[in-house]
Amino acid sequence: MCGRYALTLPHDAMAQAFAAKPANDLPDIPNYNVCPTVQVPVVVAGRRLVSMRWGFLPHWYDTPTDGPLIINARAETIAEKPAFRAAVRERRCLVPATGFYEWTKGSDGARLPWYFHPVEVEMLVFAGIWQDWGADRVPTCAIVSCAAGPTMAEIHHREPVTLDPADWGLWLGEEGTGAAPLMRAAPEGRIARYRVAPTVNSNRATGPELIDPLIED
């Protein structure tokens, strides 16, 4: 799964990486503690870099709090779930990240955060889905998750689906159909991890020190 992530690449660097046209209302970057319900930059078909609310809102929600907060969509059931099945067919997106966080529990029950980051490249790209919600057509998105691969499994049983650059066009629907096989765990060697300080446990925490490796006594 993915419940928090970091994004530090400037807007122009992301636009260049995706060959995308950036919108004028993109959220402030860097953000070392991207939390659910905030605005995040995503790439949609037509190679536009736009801002969306992280927290997918099904069309039957009358208010954003009418049901569970949906930040992830399970790959195994995404095509059947009423909330997601139209979006995964017609409205897929790319969600850039510098890295993401996950937690284990210490012997005393304390939440111990880990930071997962790409190996040899600057950016991870999550598979996402999106849809507009409400009379004002508020764009909202969720990150697709799958069963954890080797790097992630010791920490958590789920992980966000990450995409190679060669697969971006297929996920966006620019290169025909057949994107379902892309919803899989990252191959070994794509992502690495290390412990970080528990400061990030607070959703109000900010600053680059959140992704500094933890030096324990």
> Is 144 among the domain residues?
yes
What's the mean per-residue pLDDT of the chain?
95
> Is 73 among the domain residues?
yes
> Is 192 among the domain residues?
no
> Is 63 among the domain residues?
yes
- Share of residues in the chain with pLDDT > 70 (%): 99
Domain CATH for 127: 3.90.1680.10
> Is 212 among the domain residues?
no
How many structural domains are present in the chain?
1
> Is 105 among the domain residues?
no
Cβ atoms < 10 Å from Cβ of 85: 14
Q: What is the pLDDT of residues 21-42, one digit of tens each?
A: 999 999 999 999 999 999 999 9
Distance of CA 124 to the CA centre of its chain: 9
Q: What is the pLDDT of residues 148-206, one digit of tens each?
A: 998 899 999 999 999 999 999 999 999 988 999 999 999 999 999 999 999 999 999 99
Instruction: Choose among 127, 126, 128, 123: nearest CA to 98.
Output: 123
Q: How confident is the model at residue 217, as a pLDDT?
A: 52
> Is 127 among the domain residues?
yes
Domain range for 15 is 5-96+123-187
Q: How confident is the model at residue 27, as a pLDDT?
A: 97
Distances (CA, A) of 149 to 106, 130, 144, 191: 22, 25, 14, 10
Q: How confident is the model at residue 215, as a pLDDT?
A: 79
> Is 216 among the domain residues?
no
- Are the C-beta atoms of residues 49 and 14 closer than 8 Å to each other? yes
Give the model's confidence band at 2: pLDDT under 50 very low, under 70 low, under 90 confident, else very high: confident
